[in-house]
Amino acid sequence: MDTSRVVAMEPVVTLAELAEHLHVSVQTLYDLRCQGRGPRAFRVGRELHVRISEVEAWLARLEAEDTTGDTSGDGAGDASGAGARR
């Protein structure tokens, strides 16, 4: 094995770790992925893992969608903050 070259590996989290961090259920993340709206993940053994860069990109897309228009009907996408959660 060539030990002269070190390759930095990107950090990853499991779907369970991501769900805990986001305060949502693992099932919610599975559902979003099945709908094509969740982060891209890969399986290692029995668990799904997500690259941190993918999580950041996915969250940025969600944020952009949320600030460009209100599709929920509750004002949550209002950039003025008038529809902020209580």
User: What pLDDT band is residue 13 in, cutting at 50, 70 and 90?
Assistant: very high
**Tell me, what's the pLDDT at 7?**
76
3-state secondary structure of 41: coil
CA triplet 37, 43, 48: central angle to 5 degrees?
A: 55
Report how far residue 23's alpha carbon sits from residue 30's, in angstroms, rounded to the nearest whole number: 14
DSSP state of 12: E
Bridge partner residues of 44 (DSSP): 47
Strand ranges of the sheet holding 12-14, from the earlier edge strand across to the other edge: 12-14, 47-51, 42-44
| pLDDT tens per residue across span 15-60 | 999 999 999 999 999 999 999 999 999 999 999 999 999 999 999 9
Per-residue pLDDT for 62 more than 70? yes
